[in-house]
Structure 1
Amino acid sequence: MRTGLVGRHTRRVLAAAAGVILLLAASACSGGDEDAEASKVEVFTWWAEGGEKAGLDALVGQFAEECQGQQFIDGAVAGGAGINAKQVLTARLTQNDPPDTFQVHAGAELSEYIDAGRVEDLTGEFQAWGLRQALPQGLIDDLTVNGKIYSVPVNVHRANVVWANPQVLSDAGIHTTPKTITAFLADLEKLRKAGIESPLALGRDWTQLMLLEAVLITKLGPERFSGLFTGETSWSSTAVSAGLRDFAKLLKYSNADRDAMDWPDAERLLIDGKAGYQVMGDWEAADLTAKGFRAYDWFTFPGNGDVFQWLADSFVLATGAPNPDGTTCWLATVGSAPGQQAFNAAKGSIPARTDTPTDGFSAYQLAAVEDWKSATPVPSCAHGSACSQAWQNAVNSALSAYSTNHHSTTALQKSLAAAATQFVKQE
């Protein structure tokens, strides 16, 4: 471990085991501007609006109760899936100006921060807080890197969900849920003939990757899909070729300005009745509700069966955090059952902990909790659980080029295969 951190790490574990309130004892004895500055905890996220901001606000409320004397500082940078936030974070870390803690997707995305020494080992805290018993073993396995754990997950999201405006569908004569991509394409065609110019609401790069991943899950099945990110399945296979052709067909039913849209802008098309469907993670349920649109339907992407494509938002202790004790209290709140209940009830995700009460959860969330118990889990490259940030960037660039310049799917497949050849060797 780096010089000077061993003692601090031990103190953090002991403080966490005794209870997060004890973290405030020292600060209660002093005052003034210097102490006020020392009590600030900058939490860096991309949760800036809608259901995401509602979830963060609920978590901040719990933090205020459990960590009295500590001051939450909102370091949010807007931009779906953290595209903008990650760029700002990279610049700050490079300049040795880290926030106290930052949001990251659990899984492969965290590897670059670990390798660069940007985050601290939280293995002791996990043990002290009982998280090894409260989290599913599969999630613990995904969080563990070389025997250590570096982040605290606050939730689990499902990525492969289709959201629908039932009134728009009904007006077009669509009254059943499509079970195959062929049936989905047929319904999209019905919508277009009914006067809906953009039947499938879609945004930029990473949202297109979500759509592509859902298609590939249908074409490959869960095991071979996961193999795309371990080297066990070839991106040059005929099954991927077929998936890309279906992806191209779906893209033709989306809005022409997709490359200039973030996901909430695309969602607005659904709310306003200008689209019938949108493929988006289940944070959309809370976001639609927060925007006053409750008359929505949802279903798993056609052909995905019982596959649950998962991602988990988590928080870290940044190396060099200005307020490590306050940050530890934030992380304890993030990992607690009350914190996860408050957060997930507002955000629309489900708790990472299996012992969290589901009071206040929506019908969608209750269904997702049950699905998570029995469905087949697969990771998501679009949200960092399947691939590194660099790999995700390469895939997003390839999709943007395809969407903007209308290259052939053959060219797109070559770009995706080249990215896999480069990055799978590094994982």
Structure 2
Amino acid sequence: MRNSRLMAATAAAAVLALGLTACSGDDSEGSGDDSTMSEGDGGGEVEVFTWWAAGSEKAGLDALVGVFDEQNPDYTFVNGAVAGGAGSAAKDLLQSRLQAGDPPDTFQAHAGAELQDYIDAAQIEDVSDLYDEFGLTEAFPSDLVDRLSTEDGAIYSVPSNIHRANVVWANPTVLEDAGLDPEAEYADMDAWFEALDAVEESGKTALSIATTWTQVHLLETVLLSDLGAEAYNGLWDGSTDWEGAEVTAALEDFEKLMGYTNTDRDGLDWPDATQQVIDGQAAFNVMGDWAEAAFQEAGSEAPGDYIYFPVPGTDGTFDFLADSFTMPVGAPNPDGTKAWLETVGSAEGQEAFNKAKGSIPARTDADTSDFSEYQQTAVESFANDTIVSSLAHGAAAPVATLNSISDATSKFTTGASDLATFQSELAAANM
């Protein structure tokens, strides 16, 4: 059975000290692949590998699976979810499986530069023909299709959504208790620092944060705020000097922001940091708009229970990322993969998934009339703002670059390096 191979791969990864646990929605046992139909059989198991293993992320996946089951009754969804913030644990296990020639039928990846490593390793298929077959070229915005396309016009994934990374989430009660106006706007980092000082003086955590990837997420928004969209984009095309004075100033602001954060940050993941805002332990949290689903899941309502706004200095800019799904080379059930990709790209799939996930559909023809107030603002922003690509979530830089930046960030925020060393290591990561 397919899930037996998934369990075996997970066990092998544990032996290799990856310390990962695969969460499967199918607990049956068996040997071989006799239950998985081959291409052309029109049915069988479809293993979908994601990092949506719990909470609001799993709720989004469950909603998408509901549409898939309705549209494809002959296929059986197999949940290959692996827990771990931003997919770091899942990506490690996935790479082990791909290298062992044991791919899932499809796997989640961030659209953009993150896919390049899989492309270079010939591990995923070009799915451009499916864009024509499913009508996605017309349904997706043209600039999104351009961002998904390689230089030779190939496309290697189908996005399920659009997320915005440069969002601040805040607890208005905590702000009021600190003598702050919850409706205040912060034009830049300096203005925000004043508010953070006030919260700190009130005895609450000013800015909640979690493990390394959330710190890289914060770093990218500070770079975007201080540099502006054009110079931020230049970090990834080589036109902005990583060792320049503007970057130094941004890193100084990042260092200052980290001084306002919770001391237990490295032992937490993003839901824990967001929960601190929900519970009134912290005033602010910088997180992508998957946090919207967490607030909704907690029964919170905006603006009474929480507020949101672009990271100070980034208003008018949409820091973009997209979850997407691939067709791996050697997928055991390619017809099943195609069926999953069709659901992912469909209006019905995107409406159900994004309403639960907090993000917005990639399709321009999806019905978002009953989406949350925040999601309505995100739809408008994506249509009108300047779009830039997220670093922490795979859109701006290849995996190797992001890994090097993450290592440098971890060293810096744990006190193992100083700012000058941090900046040099960031520059080296982008050579």
Normalising by the residue count of structure 2, what TM-score does the alignment of the two structures yield? 0.88
Tell me, yes or no, if the aligned pair for 1:285 and 1:364 is still in contact at 8 Å.
yes
Tell me, yes or no, if the aligned pair for 1:50 and 1:291 is still in contact at 8 Å.
no
Matching residue within 353, 361, 374 for 1:364: 374
1:408 CA drift (Å)? 1.9
How far apart, in 2, do the equivalents of 1:41 and 1:160 lie?
34
Mapping of residues 328-343 of structure 1, within 5 Å: 328-343=338-353
Number of aligned positions between the proteins: 388
Q: After the TM superposition, which segments of 4 or more aligned residues of structure 1 sit over 2 Å from their partners? A: 33-38, 291-294
Tell me, yes or no, if the aligned pair for 1:259 and 1:403 is still in contact at 8 Å.
no
| Other structure's SS at 1:298 match | strand
| Corresponding position of 1:268 | 275
Tell me, yes or no, if the aligned pair for 1:259 and 1:400 is still in contact at 8 Å.
no
Matching residue's letter, 2:187: K
Mapping of residues 276-291 of structure 1, within 5 Å: 276-291=283-298
Tell me, yes or no, if the aligned pair for 2:82 and 2:89 is still in contact at 8 Å.
yes
| Corresponding position of 2:400 | 390
Matching residue's letter, 2:265: R
Matching residue's letter, 1:58: A
| Per-residue deviation, residues 356-378 of structure 1 (Å, max 9, x unmatched) | 11143000001110111110000
Residues 1:109 and 2:114 aligned together: yes
Tell me, yes or no, if the aligned pair for 2:36 and 2:332 is still in contact at 8 Å.
no
| Corresponding position of 2:195 | 187
Tell me, yes or no, if the aligned pair for 2:207 and 2:260 is still in contact at 8 Å.
yes
**5+ residue gaps, structure 1:** 1-32, 422-427
| Other structure's SS at 1:310 match | strand
How far apart, in 2, do the equivalents of 1:325 and 1:118 lie?
17
Mapping of residues 170-185 of structure 1, within 5 Å: 170-175=176-181, 176-185=184-193
Tell me, yes or no, if the aligned pair for 2:36 and 2:333 is still in contact at 8 Å.
no
Mapping of residues 318-333 of structure 1, within 5 Å: 318-333=328-343
| Corresponding position of 2:19 | none
| Corresponding position of 1:69 | 74
| Corresponding position of 1:155 | 161
1:34 CA drift (Å)? 6.9
How far apart, in 2, do the equivalents of 1:163 and 1:118 lie?
37
How far apart, in 2, do the equivalents of 1:191 and 1:305 lie?
23
1:261 CA drift (Å)? 1.4
Residues 1:37 and 2:47 aligned together: no
1:71 CA drift (Å)? 0.5
How far apart, in 2, do the equivalents of 1:264 and 1:34 lie?
37
| Per-residue deviation, residues 348-397 of structure 1 (Å, max 9, x unmatched) | 10011111111430000011101111100000110010000110000000
| Other structure's SS at 2:47 match | strand
Aligned-residue RMSD, C-alpha: 1.2
How far apart, in 1, do the equivalents of 2:190 and 2:54 lie?
35
| Corresponding position of 1:234 | 241
How far apart, in 2, do the equivalents of 1:34 and 1:174 lie?
61
| Other structure's SS at 1:42 match | strand
| Between 383-392 and 357-366, the greater mean CA deviation after superposition | 357-366
Matching residue's letter, 2:107: F
How far apart, in 2, do the equivalents of 1:46 and 1:291 lie?
21
| Per-residue deviation, residues 320-357 of structure 1 (Å, max 9, x unmatched) | 11111111101000001111011111111001111111
Matching residue within 42, 53, 58 for 2:63: 58
| Other structure's SS at 1:37 match | coil
How far apart, in 2, do the equivalents of 1:46 and 1:103 lie?
8
Normalising by the residue count of structure 1, what TM-score does the alignment of the two structures yield? 0.89
1:148 CA drift (Å)? 1.1
Tell me, yes or no, if the aligned pair for 1:160 and 1:300 is still in contact at 8 Å.
yes
1:37 CA drift (Å)? 3.4
| Between 60-69 and 291-300, the greater mean CA deviation after superposition | 291-300
How far apart, in 1, do the equivalents of 2:172 and 2:197 lie?
16
Matching residue within 136, 140, 162 for 2:141: 136
| Corresponding position of 2:4 | none
